[in-house]
Amino acid sequence: MRRYSAFAVAREAARFHTGWERAWRSPQPKKKYDVIIVGAGGHGLATAFYLGKNFGITNVAIIEKGWLGGGNTGRNTTIIRSNYLQDPSAALYEKARSLYETMSQDLNYNVMFSPRGVIMLAQTEHEVRGYKRTAHANMLQGVETRFIGPEEVKKLVPIISLEGPRYPVLGGLYQARGGTGRHDAVAWGYARACSDMGMDIIQQCEVTGVRSSGGKVTGVDTTKGAIDCDKLGLVVAGNSGALANMAGFRLPMESVALQALVSEPIKPCMDVVVMANTVHGYMSQSDKGEMVIGGGTDGFNNYTQRGSFHHIEETVRALVETFPMVSRLKMLRQWGGIVDVTGDRSPVIGKTPLGNCFINAGWGTGGFKAIPGGGWATAELIAKGEPGPLSAEFGMERFIEGRFIDESVAAGVAH
């Protein structure tokens, strides 16, 4: 792999950019791999990357039915934060956030991580109390957040209206080291690094069956033929239910559509991410100038990657009352992704009823921020066969034992 650098740009400029090589190979599948990861999204590629980097396991295939990073990895609103309430979540998301800080260097690929700060607005007395509690919990967890008053919110976000028609801004939970990243680049960077380690990324190859014998997975059937493996990792977000069905077990999850939209590009007006969970809208400004807006999930099971229009209306209404200046903005694009939501709104990283089959799923509406941490923890799980400290609490057995990691209240819907 040729390294990307300022020198490489100069060298290629001098020879009319004829020397760039493909970022990753597109090989045909081999007969057998040590590990097969199903799903070449952020979490799948990160899992493969850390299998290679942390455990030296490089005989790995990452199988993707579409194109890599084309699912929720390329559909989210790119928010990165770790201000969660519960200890296991804070540890996992903070690990991810800290890995984002050096990801561009680690992968030699610019993921444009921008620690511009994230504010979660408190617009009711309950939210003020809830976020103060989260700030105190974060202090104990070693996650740097603080509760700020309305004056500081206004200073950080001049375009905000503190006196909204329904809910005034009473303060906010501020994580200065949260921010955004370039979501496609995260997938591409991991893919390039995985390919460089000799792993095979096989796109447009849909898994059609999971073969097992004696309670163990022996391989997968795909549209490109059968592939054997010693260990299998399922990292397919919204399609987890379908894959689990093939493997013969059920999951504590349901798949629903989550929508996002972006406006036409405008001049820089907001350099932090603002989430308003009471009125339900969140917004940041991309480097291109578009306002990136996150919407809500539908209440019903859905695999169509499109959501209901009334959620767009609700989201835009919430943003217009929070940021009156956006009322004349035209929206450029709207899209949906299928997210797998668990009962306690926390992910599942753990074992399955099949001994050598592991799952990373259930990130619901908030998987992007966790990509490096989720991949790190899943790689450890697959390599050792047992969960490490990061994922120990996130196994599926927590639903039997009643040991939930309840983030549905702490994180709100806008995850």
Partner 1 sequence: MLILECPYCGVKGEETEFHAGGEAHLKRFGPGSSDEDFETYLFMRENPKGVHLERWRHANGCGKWFHAARCTMTLEVFGTYSAQTLEPPKEIKDILTAKRPGWSWRNFK
Q: Interface with partner 1 includes 224 (CB under 8 A)?
A: no
Options 51-59, 196-204, 214-222, 253-261: segment touching partner 1 (CB under 8 A)? 253-261
Backbone angles phi, psi at 294, to 5 degrees: -100, 135
Task: DSSP letter for 210, please.
Answer: E
Q: Interface with partner 1 includes 67 (CB under 8 A)?
A: no
Q: Interface with partner 1 includes 66 (CB under 8 A)?
A: no
Q: Interface with partner 1 includes 149 (CB under 8 A)?
A: no
Reading the block at residue 80, the tokens are: 């990165």
Please identify which residue in 41, 52, 69, 241 interacts with partner 1, judged by CB under 8 A.
241
Q: Interface with partner 1 includes 7 (CB under 8 A)?
A: no
Please identify which residue in 15, 22, 250, 330 interacts with partner 1, judged by CB under 8 A.
250
Please identify which residue in 11, 245, 384, 409 interacts with partner 1, judged by CB under 8 A.
245
Please identify which residue in 298, 324, 355, 406 interacts with partner 1, judged by CB under 8 A.
298
Question: Can you tell me the distance from the alpha carbon of 84 to that of 10, in angstroms, rounded to the nearest whole number?
Answer: 43
Closer residue to partner 1 (CB): 20 or 309: 309
Q: Interface with partner 1 includes 253 (CB under 8 A)?
A: yes
Q: Interface with partner 1 includes 254 (CB under 8 A)?
A: yes
Q: Interface with partner 1 includes 409 (CB under 8 A)?
A: no
Q: Interface with partner 1 includes 261 (CB under 8 A)?
A: no
Closer residue to partner 1 (CB): 114 or 352: 352
- The candidate with the shortest Cα–Cα distance to 349, out of 390, 383, 405, is 390
Reading the block at residue 95, the tokens are: 């690990």
Backbone angles phi, psi at 117, to 5 degrees: 100, 145
Question: Can you tell me the distance from the alpha carbon of 140 to that of 224, in angstroms, rounded to the nearest whole number?
Answer: 50
Q: Interface with partner 1 includes 251 (CB under 8 A)?
A: yes
* Min CB(119)–partner 1 separation in Å: 30
Footprint (CB under 8 A) of partner 1, residues 341-360: 342-343
* Min CB(410)–partner 1 separation in Å: 19
Length of the chain (residues): 415
- The candidate with the shortest Cα–Cα distance to 48, out of 163, 169, 198, 170, is 198
- The candidate with the shortest Cα–Cα distance to 273, out of 164, 173, 179, is 179
Tell me the site size for partner 1, rule CB under 8 A.
Answer: 27
* Min CB(214)–partner 1 separation in Å: 22
| Stretch 302-331: interaction string toward partner 1, x if CB under 8 A | xxx---xxx---------------------
**Is the distance from CB of 78 to CB of 181 less than 8 angstroms?**
yes
With 0-12 CB in 10 A as exposed, 13-18 as middle and 19+ as buried, what is 6? exposed
Options 24-32, 87-95, 165-173, 299-307: segment touching partner 1 (CB under 8 A)? 299-307
Closer residue to partner 1 (CB): 143 or 256: 256
Closer residue to partner 1 (CB): 10 or 400: 400
Q: What would the DSSP string read from start to end of 94-116?
A: HHHHHHHHTHHHHHTS----B--
Cβ partners under 8 Å of residue 258, min gap 6: 294, 295, 296, 297, 307, 336, 337, 338, 339, 365
Q: Each residue of 100-134: b (16+ CB within 10 Å) or e?
A: beebbebbebebbbbbbbbbbbbbeeebbebbeeb
Strands 290-297, 253-265: pairing is antiparallel
Question: Can you tell me the distance from the alpha carbon of 44 to that of 288, in angstroms, rounded to the nearest whole number?
Answer: 28
Please identify which residue in 197, 399, 406, 408 interacts with partner 1, judged by CB under 8 A.
399
- Token look-up 């090589």 returns 21
Closer residue to partner 1 (CB): 21 or 401: 401
- The candidate with the shortest Cα–Cα distance to 196, out of 98, 60, 64, 35, is 60
* Min CB(47)–partner 1 separation in Å: 22
Q: Interface with partner 1 includes 208 (CB under 8 A)?
A: no
Options 65-73, 220-228, 335-343, 377-385: segment touching partner 1 (CB under 8 A)? 335-343
* Min CB(242)–partner 1 separation in Å: 5
Tell me which residues touch partner 1 (CB under 8 A): 239, 241-242, 245, 250-255, 298-304, 308-310, 340, 342-343, 399-402
